[in-house]
Amino acid sequence: ILCRWRKRNIPVTDSNFQLQKDNIDSIHSPITYFMQFFPESLIRTIVEQTNLYSTQKIGVSINTNYSEICMFIAIQIKMSILHLPSYLMYWSKEMRFPPIADSISLKRYQKLRRFLHFVDNSTQFPNKLFKIQPVLDAVRNECIKIQPEQSHSVDEQIIPAKTKYSKFRQYNPKKPVKWGFKNMVRADSSGFMYDFYIYGGKDSKQLALSDDATHLQKSAQTVVKLCQHLPVKQNHQLFFDNWFTTLDLLIYLKEIGINACGTIRGNEDLKKNGRGAVDFRSDFNSGILVTKWYDNNAVHIGSNFVGIEPMSTIDRWSSEIKEKVPIQCPQIITMYNKGMGGVDLADMLISLYRTEVKTRRWYIKIFWHCIDIAKVNAWLLYRRHCNEMSISKKSQRTLLKRKLENDTLPGKKPFTPTPNEILRFDQISHWPEPRSQRGRCRLCKSGYSQIYCSKCHVCLCLKSSNNCFKEFHCK
């Protein structure tokens, strides 16, 4: 497209926007909000594939079920709130955490952690992400159903991972998180994530777009892909940085009915004119305006819906007179600063209680990141509903500290810790009592017994060939 640039401001675009409310009668429970983004059908798929994977690996199914997988996910969420250096500490004598240790045994937890799986390995898929694709699709499909707010931003998100067995792990030495998977995200100004996809490398064929968008650069096609489910011609505003911005992208988004604004990589400097200096050009044929504004450095920015007026003033520190001075700021800069940063805010919310699991399987890292996305989106949707109904909001941590389903597995009794040495060796009122069900011996660990110590509340072998009851109570 041939542009004829003139030093004129672009006409003011109608920016009226009305968010459609969800019309809810009452605030739902925390688990209801979470399950809205992590559906029951996905959990049942995980149950099926976990049992199948264990059969393929060891020849025997671990026979997990829906309730147990729900508890396993809830346990990991609790671990993200009360973080310890090693997951073994939650079951240790010194650091034992009853809400977790009483709910499931350590060996059962390790089994679930080892065989957690999402797809049949015997099926061949051309997609590099096939091991985690069912989870990505399920969570994404639930996110895009939520009614979008007006301002959105597109940016990259890094999923921390140092696992070596992956072909699309990224390394960026200039980022705070240097190793990880790149997740391209569209989020609103509150941090709610509406759409995302994992970047599979430069050779991946993830950008399946319509023919009218194939002329755009790869970075610009990322924006188009993430906006496929954003309603057009409803005054939604989209912001992105200079890695994505091209003039062709701004023109394309204007043609389909999406207001867009993004910084541009430029090479001109306004330093000689001082802070607050502004220069701009616009093309009336396409409705694109490009602005240069000098703050600490020259900022280049383009837009298809907002111009430089009305100008506002902002305070900046002057090193010469040692005080803050007002400088002029164009409207396009004000709008960009207000609308950009939703993905960074989402990153911050995830990092508060990130679900961290040490593993060599790369797709497990992405799975727990999807749990974090569902967790943060659930809290933000809850907060939106509270604002609609004028109800005081609870913090994200309060909502995460929900009770595990039934606290224990069906038919499982709470774990009893080994008594201290004063109680154990006092030789007073340690009476053996029979039990209807046998339990594992607390001393030899390999035997099972129906004999129960009335004072120590543990099972112990009491046989002619193996008298653990006596050995347990004598030094």
Pairwise CA distance, residues 149 & 188, whole Å: 7
Whether the pLDDT of residue 125 is over 90: the answer is: no
Q: What angle do CA 162, 168, 172 make, to 5 degrees?
A: 60
Structure tokens at 436: 């209807």
Structure tokens at 81: 């709130």
Bigger pLDDT: 25 or 243? 243
| Of 373, 382, 401, 384, residue with least CA distance to 29 | 382
The pLDDT value recorded for residue 404 is 39
Structure tokens at 168: 């699309």
Query: Domain boundaries in the chain?
Result: 5-16+148-347, 421-473
Average pLDDT score over residue span 372-382: 94
Q: List pLDDT tens digits, range 85-107.
A: 999 999 998 888 988 998 899 99
Q: At what angle do helices 66-81 and 40-58 cross, to 10 degrees?
A: 100
The pLDDT value recorded for residue 403 is 38
Average pLDDT score over residue span 180-200: 93
Whether the CB-CB separation of 247 and 268 falls below 8 Å is answered with no
Per DSSP, the three-state class of 341 is coil
Pairwise CA distance, residues 281 & 271, whole Å: 18
Q: What angle do CA 128, 131, 134 make, to 5 degrees?
A: 110
Predicted TM-score of the model (pTM): 0.81
| Of 319, 232, 222, residue with least CA distance to 262 | 222
Residue 239, class by beta-carbon neighbours within 10 Å (0-12 exposed, 13-18 middle, 19+ buried)?
buried
DSSP category for residue 430: -
In terms of phi and psi (left: phi > 0; alpha: psi -120 to 50; beta: otherwise), the region of 230 is beta
The pLDDT value recorded for residue 208 is 56
Whether the CB-CB separation of 225 and 189 falls below 8 Å is answered with no
Place of tokens 């970075």: 219
Per DSSP, the three-state class of 359 is coil
Confidence band, pLDDT 50/70/90 cuts, at residue 409: very low
Bigger pLDDT: 402 or 80? 80
The pLDDT value recorded for residue 93 is 85
Whether the CB-CB separation of 291 and 330 falls below 8 Å is answered with yes
Structure tokens at 229: 């489910």
Whether the pLDDT of residue 34 is over 80: the answer is: yes
Structure tokens at 386: 């509270």
